[in-house]
Structure 1
Amino acid sequence: MLVHLDIKNFTVVKQVELSIAQGLTAITGETGAGKSIALDALGLCIGDRAESNIVRQGAERAEVVAHFDISKLPKVKALLTEEMLIQDDNPDECFIRRVVSKEGRSKAFINGVAVNLSQLKQLGSKLVHIHGQNDHHQFLKADNQLALLDGFAQHQDKLDATKQAYTDYQKQSKALRTLQEAQQQRLDRVSLLQYQVEELDAFAMVEGEFEQLEADFKRLNSVQELLQSAEKSCYLLKDDENANALSLMNMALKDIQEQLDTDENLQGAYELLQNAVIQAQEAYTELSHYQSSLEADPEQLQQTEQRYATSLDLARKHGVNPEQLHNIHSELAAELANLQSQEASLDALEQECKQSLEAYQKYAQDLHQSRTKAAGKLADEIKSSIVEMNLPHAVVNAQVVFDSKAKPNAKGNDEIRLLVSVNPGQAPDLMEKVVSGGELARIGLAIQVIRSRDYSIPTLVFDEVDTGISGQTASVVGKLLKKLGAQSQVICVTHLPQVAAQGHNQLFVTKLTDGKTTETKVLKLTKEERVNEIARLLAGDELTDTAIANAKDLLKH
């Protein structure tokens, strides 16, 4: 709960320190004194937007510090621990500090550690809930009525399960739509790939084949020239009977051999020439074999030429070099297999999507049943509360309608209709159609009290929510807030003496001016001061004995 609030240079407040006790704290004061300033400062601490005009005239910055006791708030402690913001030496306390410069720049700190606005709001939502003057209008909206019902039903597990099932269904649906949207394009591609792969399958070129094919084509296409060249070389080496290379080399070898005994320096030349003769003989033998292996084969040449030409055509068709045909064949076959597997994935995904939708519908139906069960109890509680607020003929119905044809939604497929009647003979209908502004304010207050009771927020703030009511109704409102204050810390800004008298504590807001500057002060009233303040609320500025007597009587109850 909120323990202490320190406000400096905030609008017309120079400095105010407030100690807030458990129970119902009523805040009263003269019109225009700034009774809501403390609430605005508290709102700043829990994440409200900062404006430069909140800084007191002449000051450099505004500063608000809120001190909370979190000893009985395990969820808050868990959040602070997770964010590494817990005070190790004092884990039962939490300090929030917000500073706003006159230029409008804002800084926030939790337990002395700088945090962003998102972190501040996340923590603030677990510590304080502020109900504004016109918040009752929010209950005219179906979404807020549904949130009210869910909070009252306390079935967060069913909400989470429905949301998760919706998320799973959305994920499957998105993947399915992506595949379906690309299906025609994929089918066209599959058709083309099937033709291309079948063509390449039929050609069946293996890796490295084109290089060999190219060599064979050149060789077969030049067989006559090759034969002539081989024959001429053999003729020059040995076959010419008149003069050939081998016979001449042998003659030279014989002459040198005869001179070796005369000069051994010829030994080197002799050996080289001897090796040359051997090499020439081997070359002749190799050429003879080559010559005999060469055979003009028109059929083989035609086959090779045709395969070579087909290779070039396929390479041009696929925009690659002929040497890459084997690789492109493998790539296209892999792509075809992948696309064909996607067709199978589409069938499987359609089935998974169907199963996800069925799972979502199951959870949504379970949520619907829980809401339907809670709706009657919520309507009874609202009716009971507003009957006490001088609406004795009130009738309240809460209908939960499941729309089976609606698209899946994270909150289920329910529509809630909160129907009200406040006059005899009047059929229950939507609130905006059958209730006046004052009646709506009372209904809204009843709903706020019920909702606040169901939330685990320790500090509840009501900013003049009793506007538009008076008399006996005001007394009932005060008792409601006091009852709520018995289980939570409640702070209420009010102008009604019947409500203020129900407070366990009372703060008085006053505005002082010296003609040049204005300053707002907030004072904690003693027992005697409370009598005078409530008498003022009853009678105005002139305190009469009757008003004082009535004030004392109100404070007894």
Structure 2
Amino acid sequence: MLEELEIRDLGPIHHARLAPSSAMTAITGETGAGKSMLLSAIRLISGGPAQSRRVGPGAQEAWAQGVFAVAQDNPAVMQAKDAGVDAAADEGELYLSRTVPVNGRSRSVLSGHTVPRSVLQKVSEHLVTIHGQADQLRIASAARQREVLDAYAGDAELVDAYGKAWNALKAMDERLDALEHQQADVRQRADYLRESIERINQVDPQPGEDEELKAKRSRIENAASIQQGVNGAIAALDASQLDTDADSSGATDLVRRAALSLRSIRVDGDDTYDQLAQRLDSIEADLSDVVFTLSRQTDDDDDEGDLDAINTRIHDLGELTRRWGPGLADVIAWRDKAAFEVEDLDASPEKLEQLRADRDRLARRALDAARELSAARQKAAGDLGERVTAELGELAMAGSRLDVRVVPHEVDDADVMRTLDAHGMDDIMFAFTPFPGSEPLPMGSSASGGELSRLMLALELTIAERRGEAADMTFIFDEVDAGVGGKAAAELGRRLAKLARSSQVIVVTHLAQVASWAQEQYVVSKGAAGTLPDEPGGIGVTTTVTRVDGEDRVREIARMLSGSESGTSLDHARELLSASVE
């Protein structure tokens, strides 16, 4: 949901800030006042093209920012995370902004992070949908029509299942193609891999072996100093470990005697000396453990092995890491991977036959998944077309209709890949009939801007009704009221308000019957001519964007109704606002 839109120096708008309603917001104003700049701002923060001529007179740059509240499961959040932006850190908000200088390239920012324009495009796809004449062409694409139909059909699991089957089939085809077209360089590759695997197996490296050998070599090379230090420590702690006939007492024996001496003290009601003796017992145990460990160390050093053999082994392992490293683990991993590659490169006729059989099985699975997906689409297509057609009748387009056509490809038993593509086995087309007797034509080439906007409204309403729950999406409608008036205009406002129950709706409109249904209304108006900021001697007109409510809104609705604020038009405006409530 769009919480705030702020604009600076975009066209005639020097500065404006809007806080749209979570339901329906109307943008109104006289023709030429600059309402299109608000749509331009939305397109900018959605990653649309930047045009330096849109920078306001006298300004060095234009800037727009939209603040969107997002749920953590919104796909926009994942897109933001992929770009290094965590929406959770901003308390569930995403900030999309764009700066367009007079000279130079535009700058795109996502929640304080500079990002490529394409990131704004990917994120905004899940946040805002603009239905204006320049934006409707997207629905003319087969890909977009397929997405709309799948959204209505609720067949996400079938789409996912087919996608996995298709990817598995493609991967198998690529593998078979590589195996069936081996050339001399491939055979050379196989020979190199076999020789390398044999060399590694001769050495038979073990993970971490080189580091262990280097540590052992270091101990051998420093054996004399190690032995001297260890013996000195043992002599000080317990000389009997080195010489059973030694008379001198070590630290261990002295601590033991001290404990015995303390235990000989007997004082009624005072166990202080006994506690101290117990502490000395603990110290003696620790000292004995240290002596034992040091004694083991001298025993281990006696069994370190031959230094020449260790150096030879380290050299052999080093040869492996230099060629296939950097570490022994990398060498082992390379050998294991190479073994699989050799198996494929040396594929026998039996192996190829087995892979072809696996490929046939994957092709049948993909075809079955495609047929199931196609059946779901065909079932949903008829229902979608009928429901949208019914909505069109309520939008002053009686006689118009939408036909959603799903035409499965003819199955080619010899090669399933000629039947399928990455999205299934169907050609999908939305055909629109604008008036009775007209030929159904592809959507996008058969309707005016206003008709197409109302057709998109009918689609969004139908999908929202099918979804049955709120969508984390902002819909913006422009020109939806073109060619509409009277009772049909009031019904158009009612349908927009209906969509606003489940999604945020912003509509740019000239009709009071539409604007009256909005929870918030903003008026775009031309200010008085005067000196433009930062442009000495420049005379022009600036545009203001003002939120209206109460009597101010009544006056705006009256202006939209009759162009005046007479008593009659004001009464009519109040009556209209009162009636536009469900």
The TM-score range, normalised by the shorter chain, is 0.5 to 0.7
Flag the 1:88–1:133 CA change in 2: closer, same or farther, 3 A: closer
Question: Partners in 1 of 2:73 and 2:520 — Cα distance?
Answer: 23
Map Cα deviations across residues 443-469 of structure 1 (whole Å, 9 max, x no partner): 343124435665933321112222232
Cα distance change, pair 101–483 in 1 and its aligned pair in 2 (3 A): same
Tell me if the contact between 1:133 and 1:467 (Cα under 8 Å) persists in the aligned partners. Answer: no
**Structure 1 residues 154-179: Cα deviation after superposition (integer angstroms, max 9, x where no partner):** 22222222223222222222333344
Q: In structure 2, how many angstroms separate the alpha carbons of the residues matched to 1:87 and 1:433?
A: 36
How far apart in 1 are the matches of 2:55 and 2:24? 29
Once the two structures are TM-superposed, the CA of residue 136 in structure 1 deviates from its matched residue by 4.6
Corresponding residue number in structure 2 for 1:109: 109
CA contact (8 A) 1:176 1:350 kept: yes
Structure 1 393/338 Cα, relative in aligned 2: closer, same or farther at 3 Å?
Answer: closer
Which of the numbers 500, 503, 513 marks the counterpart of 2:518? 503
Pairwise CA distance, 1:490: 0.9
Structure 2 vs 1, CA of residues 420 and 64 (structure 1 numbering), >3 Å: closer, same or farther? closer
1:161 equivalent in structure 2: 161
Give the corresponding residue for 2:481: 466
Residues 476-510 of structure 1 show CA distances to partners (whole Å, capped at 9, x for unaligned) of 21111111112221111111221111111110001
- Whether 1:514 aligns to 2:530 is yes
In structure 2, C-alpha distance between the alignment counterparts of 1:435 and 1:87, rounded to whole Å: 41
CA contact (8 A) 1:25 1:492 kept: yes
Q: Tell me which residue corresponds to 2:472.
A: 457
Among candidates 364, 388, 400, match of residue 370 of structure 2: 364
Structure 1 residue 523, shift from structure 2 partner? 0.4
- 134-143 or 516-525, which moves further after superposition? 134-143
For 1:536, give the aligned amino acid: R
Distance 2:110 2:435 in 1: 51
Deviates more, 1:457-466 or 1:341-350: 341-350
CA distance in 2, matches of 1:76, 1:423: 39
Q: What TM-score do the two structures reach when normalised by structure 2? A: 0.63
Q: Which residue of 2 aligns with 1:528?
A: 551
1:270-317 Cα deviation digits (max 9, x unpaired): xxxxxxxxxxxxxxxxxxxxxxxxxxxxxxxxxxxxxxxxxxxxxxxx
Cα displacement (A) at 1:423: 5.8
1:354 aligns with one of 354, 360, 374 = 360
Q: Secondary structure at the match of 1:461?
A: strand
3-state DSSP class of the match of 1:36? helix
Which residue of structure 2 lines up, in the alignment, with residue 12 of structure 1?
A: 12
Distance 2:476 2:496 in 1: 10
Match of 2:298 in 1: none
1:475 to partner: Cα distance:
1.6
Equivalent position of 1:60 in the other structure = 60
C-alpha distance in 1 between matches for 2:78 and 2:125: 14
Instruction: Report the Cα offset of residue 363 of structure 1.
Output: 1.3
Using the alignment, how far apart are the partners of 1:343 and 1:68 within structure 2? Answer: 59
Q: Are residues 1:378 and 2:384 paired?
A: yes
Deviation at 1:140, TM superposition (A): 4.8
Aligned CA distance change for structure 1 residues 162 and 3 (closer, same or farther; 3 Å) = same
2:458 aligned partner: 446
Corresponding position of 2:578: 556
- Quick one: which amino acid aligns to residue 115 of structure 1? V
Rounded Cα–Cα distance in structure 2 between residues aligned with 1:458 and 1:338: 49
- Displacement after TM superposition at 1:525 (Å): 0.7
Counterpart of 1:518 in 2: which secondary structure? strand
Match of 1:484 in 2: 499
- Partners of 2:478 and 2:443 in 1: how far apart? 22
Distance 1:88 1:397 in 2: 42
- How many matched pairs? 410
Q: 1:530 to 1:518 in 2, by over 3 A?
A: same
CA shift for structure 1 position 103: 1.3
Shift of 1:524: 0.3
Q: What corresponds to 1:300 in structure 2?
A: none
1:53-85 deviation line (CA, Å, top 9, x unaligned): 232232222222222223575544455456542
Percent identity, aligned pairs only?
31
Report the secondary structure of 2:125's partner residue: helix
Deviation string, structure 1 residues 162-204 (Cα, Å, up to 9, x no partner): 2232222222223333444558x899x99xx9xxxxxxxxxxx
Structure 2 letter corresponding to 1:509: V
SS at match of 2:560: helix
Q: Supply the distance in 1 between the matched residues of 2:134 and 2:488 (Cα, whole angstroms).
A: 18
Give 1:299's aligned residue: none
Cα pair distance change 1:342/1:33, threshold 3 Å? farther
Amino acid at match of 1:112: G
**Conserved 8 A contact 2:172-2:359:** yes
C-alpha distance in structure 2 between counterparts of 1:62 and 1:73, whole Å: 32
CA distance in 2, matches of 1:338, 1:88: 47
> Contact 2:434 / 2:447 at 8 angstroms: preserved in 1?
no
1:135-174 equivalent positions in 2, closer than 5 A: 135-136=135-136, 138-174=138-174
CA contact (8 A) 1:431 1:440 kept: no
Letter in structure 1 aligned against 2:574: K
**How big is the shift at 1:48?**
1.7
Gaps of 5+ in 1: 194-335
